[in-house]
Amino acid sequence: MSDATRRVAVALPRPLPTPFDYRLDAAAATPPLRGCRLRVPLGSSEIIGVAMDEAGDDTGAAGDGATTLKSVLERIDATPILHGELWSSLLWLARYLHAPIGEVLASALPAALRQGAALPETQAFGWRLTEAGHTALPGLRAGAPRRFAELLATGERDEDGLDAQHPGWRTPARTLAKRGLIERVAMDAVSPSPATSPPDLNDEQRAAADAISAHAGFGVLLLDGVTGSGKTEVYLDAIARTLARGRQALVLVPEIGLTPQMLERFRSRLGVPIHALHSGLGESERARTWTAALRGQARVIVGTRSAAFVPLPEAGLIIVDEEHDGSYKQFDGIRYHARDFVIVRAKALGVPIVLGSATPSLETLHNAQAGRYTHLRLHHRAGAAQPPQVRVIDVRKRPLQSGLGPEALAAIEAALAAGGQVLVFRNRRGYAPVLLCHDCGWSAQCKRCDSPMTVHGGGRRLVCHHCGAQQPTPPACPQCASLALQPQGNGTERIEEFLSQRFTQVPVLRIDRGSTQTRDGLQQHLDTLGAQPGILIGTQMLAKGHDLPNLTLVVVVGIDEGLFSADFRSGEKLAQLLVQVAGRAGRADKPGTVLLQTHHPDHPLLQTLVTRGYHAFAEEELAEREAAIFPPFAHMALLRAEAKDVEPVLQFLRAAKARVGDVGVEVHGPLAAPMPRRAGYQRMQLILSSPSRAALQARLDAWVPELYRLPEARRVRWSLDVDPVDL
Ligand code: ADP
Ligand code: ZN
Ligand code: ZN
């Protein structure tokens, strides 16, 4: 090895506890190297890693087997793409989650960059009418190209705005550009040009917006406002002031809350391009947005969970809308919580962070009560909207048709007759949750999971919602050959079938992941319905985000299973869901009604929620959590393991348990996972719990490296989940 090489530690996107050392030509090792991507050999293939430090002396040249070090194949970045606050926050995240640093760094990058693509061009472009276009416009035939030319005749448009406002604009644009009637131009630094003006904020909104803007440095503010109270208006006010100070704003929204409608509301109010990041984008668009944030060109970034990783060199404000939403937690790979991570980032960046919700998580409420967060309340709906009336409907002994009782059906009929729209909420996709043999009791179970198969396709198909397995419905019972196979219970498909037969005079639309694959599809569905009377049947896809001004009745069915779940968080989740769904009703000037159908009308959760509201429920629930020493009064980590056979899983978890030690941390298990068998794997877990986060972290620091070394670890797939949300 010659003097002309250096040694560099490279974090690889692999489940390895530490970075790997490589050799790098001195010429390629010039600083700044830390945070640059490197292409390196691994085994017989190549992989993209990130340099962990400036290159050091290649002291190994003298011996130590360092001559076996492999050489870096290529330095991809001349300057770091991960640096500053984001770099240190990611290092913190890896330590906190006890996750491999290489995997954490890789998950911060959009896939294209992770795979080694060069940083993309991020100059924003727009379109304008050429002189020839102005001349030709009056003579153009009616149709999409003419409409697009007319749009540009009112002023040039940036592509992000077009994507948000006029999806499908590219085809007419191509036609016109070919004829030289329009041209693509680079947009200079955008200056805000709002198209709509804000409503006059009410006193509570104004106080909240002022409190946010008064924060010069870090602070967490809980914006706790009932559905429809105008939280989004408060965000917009705070973002506008952030932009005016020359700062960037990051807004996190739940997966299903990021709609074209919402982006357009932001764009037209703020008057700058909104950079969206969500799962519907192509890889190159994601890389472009991320890079535009890195370069400070993206001023407002609105995204789902993974947007927590955008670089914010000029950060001024972070907002987490619907902070209680379950989609902020990543359930595989790097199990981070986007809300919790951006709180850490806001602190490192020295900027305020707003957590907004009508149903704050118990963690967040607890922090607010302890004085760690500023608690801002919006008690009333904005404008003319009234709170919905919520009634519990006892359906014991009542005749049910596809899960709907006579009161609900009568209410639907009345709402439609009055010209309103109805939402029937059932959080279960498919036709029926179970296929049962009426003669012998056999039911269709997934062969690979501990779960019944869901009946789909009006009864023709069986689908496992856990592993995706599919099969046609058997013609006869496999156990007794009887033909009496019956779908049991009601999914959204079956409710749709029933209601569309019963209410033939109005549109009946089902909205769930089966019927509506994309967020645009959902909007199209809602556009088709418009303001006419009709029925929507939906899962939680419909529980939030969409303003349906004509929705006057919400009927909630099938909540009873959620009342008696083993998961200690199920009550909280159900209460949040019910309040959010109820919040869909009566958003505008028409009053709304919510009917909750149940066989357990006296259940304390329902009683508290309906008579005293979400905050009373939260208080009771927090008291119970405190007594039981559950989160947020305890901190947990979950070690999951799975294998084809249960024996190696047990051996691994027992060996792991034996090494925890007994200082300050309680260990439970090995226990069967909530679903003990999934996709053919036997699954078990170990729960570590401590009232002290620091004590738990200290234990994990010592313990996790040992897990990698356990011989038993090689026979299982295992993962650690810090702050798990499903136990
Ligand atoms: P949230 O985000 O709390 O659900 P939004 O900000 O979406 O509430 O507001 C709900 C509705 O009330 C929207 O239609 C919005 O335009 C309207 N609104 C909000 N604030 C005001 C206000 N100060 N005056 C009049 N209308 C308002
Ligand atoms: Zn049978
Ligand atoms: Zn399955």
Tokens of 119: 């940083």
CB 224 within 8 A of CB 357: yes
173 shares a domain with 275: no
The preferred substitution site among 223, 233, 321 for testing ligand 1, maximizing ligand atoms within 8 Å of CB, is 233
Residue 36, marked binder: no
**pLDDT, position 454:** 95
The ligand that comes nearest to the alpha carbon of residue 476 is 2
Nearest to 464 by CA among 478, 479, 477, 445: 445
716 to 103, 569, 704, 711, 727: CA distances (angstroms): 19, 28, 15, 10, 19
Which residue's CA is the closest to the ligand 1 atom numbered 5? 230
Question: Is 630 part of any domain?
Answer: no
Query: What mean pLDDT is predicted for residues 577-606?
Result: 86
**Exposure of 118 in the CB half-sphere (CA atoms within 13 A):** 4
Q: How does residue 62 score in pLDDT terms, banded at 50, 70 and 90?
A: very low
**Pocket lining: 359 vs ligand 1, CB cutoff 6 Å:** no
Reply yes or no on whether the pLDDT at 1 is more than 50: no
Q: How does residue 244 score in pLDDT terms, banded at 50, 70 and 90?
A: very high
Question: Is 384 part of any domain?
Answer: no
Instruction: Name all contacts of 646-653 with Cβ < 8 Å and 24+ positions apart.
Output: 646/682, 646/684, 648/712, 648/715, 648/716, 649/682, 649/683, 649/684, 649/716, 650/684, 651/712, 651/715, 652/710, 652/712, 652/713, 652/715, 652/716, 652/718, 653/684, 653/685, 653/686
The preferred substitution site among 205, 226, 232, 253 for testing ligand 1, maximizing ligand atoms within 8 Å of CB, is 232
**pLDDT, position 495:** 95
* C-alpha R_g of the chain: 28
Structure confidence by residue, pLDDT tens digits, 696-714 = 999 999 999 999 999 999 9
110 shares a domain with 182: no
Q: Write down which residue in 601, 624, 647 finishes a domain.
A: 624
Total residues belonging to the chain: 727
Rounded to 5 degrees, what are φ and ψ at 311?
Answer: -70, 140
Structure confidence by residue, pLDDT tens digits, 87-112 = 999 999 999 999 999 999 999 999 99
Sequence-ordered list of residues with C-beta below 8 angstroms from that of 343, at least 6 positions apart, any chain: 220, 353
Rounded distance, CA 590 to CA 636, Å? 45
Q: How does residue 453 score in pLDDT terms, banded at 50, 70 and 90?
A: very high
Structure confidence by residue, pLDDT tens digits, 455-512 = 998 889 999 999 999 999 999 999 999 999 999 999 999 999 999 999 999 999 988 7
540 shares a domain with 427: yes
Reply yes or no on whether the pLDDT at 52 is more than 90: yes
Q: How does residue 59 score in pLDDT terms, banded at 50, 70 and 90?
A: low
CATH number at residue 210: 3.40.50.300
Query: What is the domain count for the chain?
Result: 5
**pLDDT, position 40:** 97
DSSP codes of every residue in 430-462: SSBSEEEETTT--B-B-SSSSSBPEEEGGGTEE
The ligand that comes nearest to the alpha carbon of residue 438 is 2
Query: What mean pLDDT is predicted for residues 369-375?
Result: 96
ipTM value: 0.97
105 shares a domain with 134: no
Which residue's CA is the closest to the ligand 1 atom numbered 8? 230
Which residue's CA is the closest to the ligand 1 atom numbered 19? 230
Reply yes or no on whether the pLDDT at 517 is more than 80: no
Structure confidence by residue, pLDDT tens digits, 498-511 = 999 999 999 999 88
Query: What mean pLDDT is predicted for residues 173-183?
Result: 93
User: Could you tell me the pTM of the whole model?
Assistant: 0.89
Tokens of 455: 């009946």
350 shares a domain with 284: yes
**pLDDT, position 125:** 80
Q: Would you give the DSSP letter of residue 200?
A: P
**pLDDT, position 448:** 92
Sequence-ordered list of residues with C-beta below 8 angstroms from that of 6, at least 6 positions apart, any chain: 23, 24, 25, 26, 29, 55, 56, 57, 58
Sign of CA dihedral 319, 325, 331, 335: positive
36 shares a domain with 146: no
Query: What mean pLDDT is predicted for residues 184-211?
Result: 82
259 shares a domain with 169: no
CB 88 within 8 A of CB 95: no
Reply yes or no on whether the pLDDT at 608 is more than 80: yes
**Pocket lining: 382 vs ligand 1, CB cutoff 6 Å:** yes
**Exposure of 179 in the CB half-sphere (CA atoms within 13 A):** 17
Report which of residues 16 and 236 the model is more confident about.
236
52 shares a domain with 137: no
164 SS3 class: helix
**pLDDT, position 470:** 94
Domain span at 85: 6-59+66-115
Q: How does residue 530 score in pLDDT terms, banded at 50, 70 and 90?
A: confident
10 shares a domain with 41: yes
Question: Is 21 part of any domain?
Answer: yes
